């Protein structure tokens, strides 16, 4: 019998590619997104069902979870992929924007995990794959503190839950990807700004230039990430954390080889 995967944020980028890959491998796919009425690609697959889901809306999470379980009978793997980036000086971040960063990247996965736990406990098994980032395990740029916060929190949540869910045979996995191609992440970044204060501008401009002109060899082929998600779902990769891409690997090698004070100064020097 084919297995079923439930994925959040499948309207674009990694979520969409993951849905298509699993469908092509014969899995049944519950592809969720905020605006299903706009979807045209995933609708072509007979083994993909689309469900409306904004991960910050607890009622919608409950409804989508119940509808997917009713449609497929059993869900084997849940991928918490939906995410946004809030960048810019913390000093200028409105409370609503801070809350939004946390709501989508942390509280969203919490909502989805909580909705699936009764199903997974009843089934005596299941897997949550949480899409983090190398920004979930290290810092890399100024003005990324809120995004760092959200992914560090997702990492802590996932690691803490490992112990709690192990007795129920519920697995937890983390993907720590770097910048990749074929997504809308950069375009969707919410930048915090101030109409009058320009003190942070040189720093912000350097971060934006870094994002715009990233060395192509440091950007991941999204198919590599999708393949790792597939390897996790099928048990071929049993690592708790899967760090993908040269950007994250280079930074982690540096971080692990230096005292934290030296690491911080080395990163800061790129933006002076």
Ligand X SMILES: NC(=O)c1ccc[n+]([C@@H]2O[C@H](COP(=O)([O-])OP(=O)(O)OC[C@H]3O[C@@H](n4cnc5c(N)ncnc54)[C@H](OP(=O)(O)O)[C@@H]3O)[C@@H](O)[C@H]2O)c1
Subset of 95-124 contacting ligand X (CB under 6 A): 104
Q: Measuring CA to CA, which residue among 117, 132, 142 is closest to residue 202?
A: 142
Bridging pattern class, strands 86-87 and 190-191: parallel
Identify the residue among 4, 5, 6, 14 touching ligand X (CB under 6 A). 14
String marking each residue 15-44 x if it binds ligand X according to CB under 6 A? x-----------------xxx---------
Active site residue 147: yes
Rounded Cα distance, 37 and 57, in Å: 18
Q: Which contiguous run of DSSP H or E holds residue 89?
A: none
Q: Where are the beta strands (DSSP E) in 107-158?
A: 126-131
Interface pick for ligand X out of 7, 29, 30, 54 (rule CB under 6 A): 54
Closer to ligand X by CB, 76 or 176: give it: 176
Structure tokens at 207: 């971060």
Q: How many residues does the chain have?
A: 272
Contact pattern from residue 182 through residue 221 relative to ligand X, giving x for each residue in contact according to CB under 6 A and a dash for the rest: -xxx--x---------------------------------
* Residue 54: partners with Cβ closer than 8 Å, 6 or more residues away: 34, 60
Using the minimum distance from each CB to ligand X, give the nearer residue, 106 or 204.
Answer: 106
Structure tokens at 225: 């990430």
Q: Which residues are catalytic?
A: 147
Which residues in this chain contact ligand X in the complex, by CB under 6 A? 8-9, 11-15, 33-35, 53-56, 81-84, 104, 131, 133, 177-180, 183-185, 188
């Amino acid at each position: 019998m084919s297995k079923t995967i439930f994925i959040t944020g499948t309207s674009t980028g990694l979520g969409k590619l993951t849905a298509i890959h699993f469908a092509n491998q014969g899995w049944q796919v519950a592809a969720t997104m905020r605006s299903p009425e706009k979807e045209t690609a995933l609708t072509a697959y007979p083994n993909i069902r689309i469900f409306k889901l904004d991960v910050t809306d607890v009622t919608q999470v409950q409804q989508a979870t119940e509808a997917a379980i009713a449609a497929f009978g059993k869900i084997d793997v849940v991928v918490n992929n939906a995410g946004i980036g809030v960048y810019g000086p913390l000093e200028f971040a409105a409370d609503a924007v801070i809350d939004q960063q946390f709501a989508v990247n942390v509280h969203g996965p919490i909502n989805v995990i909580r909705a699936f736990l009764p199903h997974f406990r009843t089934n005596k098994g299941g897997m949550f794959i949480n899409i983090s980032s190398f920004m979930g395990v290290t810092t890399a740029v100024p003005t990324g503190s809120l995004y760092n916060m959200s992914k560090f929190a997702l990492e802590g949540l996932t690691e803490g839950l490992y112990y709690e869910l192990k007795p129920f045979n519920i697995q937890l996995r983390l993907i720590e990807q770097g910048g990749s191609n074929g997504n809308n992440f950069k375009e969707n970044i919410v930048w915090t700004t101030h109409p009058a204060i320009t003190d942070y501008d040189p720093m912000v401009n350097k971060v934006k230039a870094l994002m715009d002109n990233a060395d192509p060899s440091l950007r991941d082929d999204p198919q590599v990430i999708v393949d790792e998600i597939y390897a996790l779902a099928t048990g071929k990769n049993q690592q708790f954390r899967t760090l993908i891409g040269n950007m994250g690997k280079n930074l982690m090698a540096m971080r692990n080889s230096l005292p934290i004070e030296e690491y911080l100064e080395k990163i800061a020097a790129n933006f002076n």
